[in-house]
């Protein structure tokens, strides 16, 4: 994620959500189709189920975000952990649909909206609190997706950041760039 100096919370948080979205997509792109539905054990979720849960949460939380409770009456959270999307294409369709709900709700906001009150499960949250709650939730699940993808790819994994054993090269590149900018 390239660094952009800003003092706008909304700008920063949208950038962070886009970063996590991309991270999840880059991880899922490395996984064979059969691994999308594979869980590590009976108490774990597959990538496809995590995606289904994230999409369900995003639809519930961000649809009519400012005017209705973030826990919609038609949401059945438990079913988000059953019957994963059958194909990669179907999984990616619900992934994109969830993110569209999120960005449609966040992009019109300004920093002046952050103190307004919204409801999640009948509990009042400032808009900033609601956003932070979801950012933490999504980062956790995308971390699970990355973990599973890395596990399944093993030695074929392509790092999403600085590869293991390459910190020195990265630091040297940063130092050269800083020196050349002086």
Domain boundaries, the chain: 9-181
Residue whose C-alpha is closest to residue 9's, from 128, 125, 118? 128
The answer to whether residue 170 scores a pLDDT higher than 70 is no
- Does residue 176 surpass a pLDDT of 90? no
* 37/5: higher pLDDT: 37
**CA 23, CA 121: separation in Å to the nearest integer?**
29
pLDDT one-digit tens code per residue, 109-134: 999 999 999 999 999 999 999 999 99
Query: Which residues have C-beta within 8 Å of that of residue 146, sequence separation ≥ 6?
Result: 23, 24, 27, 160
How much of the chain exceeds pLDDT 90, in percent?
A: 84
- Stretch 58-72: mean pLDDT: 95
Print the SS3 string covering the chain: CCCCCCCCHHHHHHHHHHHHHHHHHHHHHCCCHHHHHCCCCCCCCCHHHHHHHHHHHHHHHHCCCCCCCCCCCCCCHHHHHCCCCCCHHHHHHHHHHHHHHHHHHHCCCCHHHCCCEEEECCEEEEHHHHHHHHHHHHHHHHHHHHHHHHHHHHHHCCCCCCCCCCHHHHHHHHHHHHHHHC
pLDDT at residue 2 in the model: 55
d(CA 66, CA 116): 9
Model confidence over 84-108: pLDDT tens digits? 999 999 999 999 999 999 999 999 9
> What does the pLDDT read at residue 180?
65
Per-residue pLDDT, 162: 78
What pLDDT is stored for residue 86 in this prediction? 96
Is the pLDDT score of 181 beyond 70? no
Please state the rounded mean pLDDT for residues 33-61.
Answer: 97
Neighbouring residues of 20: CB distance < 8 A, sequence distance ≥ 6:
135, 138, 139, 142
For domain 9-181, give the fold: 1.20.120
Residue 131 to residue 10: CA distance in whole angstroms: 9
Mean of all residue pLDDT scores within the chain: 92
């Amino acid at each position: 994620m390239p660094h952009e100096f800003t003092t706008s919370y909304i700008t920063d948080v949208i950038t962070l959500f886009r970063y996590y979205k991309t991270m999840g997509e880059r991880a899922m792109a490395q996984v064979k189709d059969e691994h999308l539905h594979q869980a590590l054990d009976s108490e774990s979720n597959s990538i496809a189920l995590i995606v289904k849960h994230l999409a369900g949460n995003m639809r519930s939380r961000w649809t009519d975000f400012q005017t209705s409770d973030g826990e919609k009456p038609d949401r059945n959270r438990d079913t988000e952990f059953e019957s994963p999307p059958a194909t990669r294409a179907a999984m990616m369709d619900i992934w994109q649909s969830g993110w569209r709900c999120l960005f449609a709700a966040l992009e019109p906001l300004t920093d002046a909206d952050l103190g307004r009150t919204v409801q999640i499960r009948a509990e009042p949250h400032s808009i900033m609190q609601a956003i932070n709650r979801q950012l933490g939730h999504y980062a956790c699940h995308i971390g699970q997706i990355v973990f599973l993808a890395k596990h399944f790819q093993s030695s074929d994994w392509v790092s999403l950041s600085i590869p293991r054993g390459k910190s020195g090269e990265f630091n040297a590149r940063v130092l050269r760039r800083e020196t050349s900018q002086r």
